[in-house]
């Protein structure tokens, strides 16, 4: 196998399938991503296949473990994809098993980086595994996995080792060879000799291990996220007590509200009676006690 470009080799660990939920994106983001993905040209090199996968005894415990890991990849990465899209995802996993750049076991490929901040298949490190699979979709994923482990090949993706959803554009999409699009996923292979079929020569490791997942960290992360997005009560300037439906307090009013439970009442002072400065000004103008209301006793 020709060696990978050093920069590409260094970036392998971060070339994840991770994608934000489509529901979390606005239409402009999705449209922009699809346009940019369309602008990436298809690879002109001849499509080659990595060949049939074999080597795991069908009746062995390793086969059952490998089947579970591969079915998980198919389900959590492509449960709602067409059957061809699911088979393509399974083919990517098995292509990696045979490529020297990756672990040479099915579970090793699927769970690569599962305990790290960035993993290769996003469902192993983003908490998706805490969701119980839907029975009918899980059964279909198992069938796809078993077919792939039994040697069925998905020729449309050839030697693809990467894919991503069409509504995101990872940086690594510009560094690999774009092969095809199936369903919502776009598939890529390594450029040059590392992506040729001759580089997919490695045999199966001889054992499969399903790693122990720390589900508590997913639950903790989810609870912390919920706390972070909790909405604080809106502050309304001028309110000293909680609003009440019987209030006549205007929405735009920035004045204080009277708390009538505190036994005090609003009192507006009379500037004529209490302001010495006001009276002094009037006296200086030759006026005294303007607007005085006559006493009933002095009236004729």
Give the model's confidence band at 300: pLDDT under 50 very low, under 70 low, under 90 confident, else very high.
very low
Instruction: Measure CA 157 to chain center.
Output: 26
Q: What is the pLDDT of residue 276?
A: 66
Q: What is the pLDDT of residue 223?
A: 67
112 to 7, 13, 109, 120, 181: CA distances (angstroms):
20, 9, 5, 6, 24
Say how far apart CA 198 and CA 113 lie, in whole Å: 26
Q: What is the pLDDT of residue 139?
A: 98
Question: How does pLDDT run across 143-192, given as a tens digit for each residue?
Answer: 999 999 999 999 999 999 999 999 999 999 999 999 999 999 999 999 99
Whether 84 shows a pLDDT value over 70: the answer reads: yes
For residues 266-286, average pLDDT: 62
Strands of 95-244, DSSP E: 162-165, 177-182, 185-189
Q: Could you tell me the residue ranges of all domains in the chain?
A: 6-228
Q: pTM of this prediction?
A: 0.71
User: Is the Cβ–Cβ distance between 220 and 130 less than 8 Å?
Assistant: no
Highest mean pLDDT out of 2-16, 95-109, 211-225, 279-293? 95-109
Quote the mean pLDDT of the chain: 81
Give the model's confidence band at 298: pLDDT under 50 very low, under 70 low, under 90 confident, else very high.
very low
Whether 41 shows a pLDDT value over 80: the answer reads: yes
Q: What is the pLDDT of residue 68?
A: 97
The string of DSSP letters for 223-236 reads HHHHHHTPPPPPP-
For residues 286-292, average pLDDT: 56
Q: What is the pLDDT of residue 200?
A: 94
More confident residue, 109 or 1: 109
Question: How does pLDDT run across 181-238, given as a tens digit for each residue?
Answer: 999 999 999 999 999 999 999 999 999 999 988 777 777 766 666 555 555 555 555 5
Q: What is the pLDDT of residue 118?
A: 83
User: Is the Cβ–Cβ distance between 163 and 89 less than 8 Å?
Assistant: yes
Q: What is the pLDDT of residue 23?
A: 63
């Amino acid at each position: 196998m020709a060696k990978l470009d050093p920069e590409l080799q260094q970036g392998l660990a971060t070339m994840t399938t991770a994608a934000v939920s489509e529901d979390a994106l606005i239409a402009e983001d999705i449209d922009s991503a699809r346009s940019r993905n369309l602008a990436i040209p298809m690879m002109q090199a001849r499509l080659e296949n990595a060949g049939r996968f074999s080597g795991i005894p069908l009746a062995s415990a390793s086969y059952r473990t490998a089947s579970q890991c591969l079915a998980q990849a198919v389900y959590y990465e492509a449960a709602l994809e067409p059957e061809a899209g699911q088979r393509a995802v399974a083919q990517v996993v098995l292509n990696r098993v045979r490529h020297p750049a990756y672990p040479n076991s099915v579970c090793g490929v699927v769970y690569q980086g599962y305990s790290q901040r960035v993993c290769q298949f996003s469902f192993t490190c983003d908490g998706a595994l805490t969701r119980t699979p839907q029975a009918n979709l899980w059964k279909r994923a198992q069938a796809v996995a078993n077919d792939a482990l039994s040697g069925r090949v998905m020729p449309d993706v050839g030697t693809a080792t990467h894919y991503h959803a069409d509504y995101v554009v990872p940086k690594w999409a510009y560094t690999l060879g774009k092969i095809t699009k199936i369903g919502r996923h776009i598939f890529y292979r390594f450029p040059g000799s590392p992506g040729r079929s001759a580089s997919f020569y490695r045999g199966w490791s001889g054992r499969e291990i399903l790693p122990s997942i720390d589900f508590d960290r997913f639950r903790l992360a989810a609870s912390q996220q919920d706390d972070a997005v909790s909405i604080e009560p809106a502050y309304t300037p001028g309110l000293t007590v909680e609003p009440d439906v019987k209030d006549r307090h205007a929405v735009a009013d920035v004045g204080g509200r009277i708390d009538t439970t505190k036994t005090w009442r609003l009192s507006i002072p009379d500037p004529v009676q209490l302001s010495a400065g006001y009276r002094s000004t009037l006296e200086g103008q030759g006026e005294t006690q303007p607007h005085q209301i006559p006493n009933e006793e002095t009236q004729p």
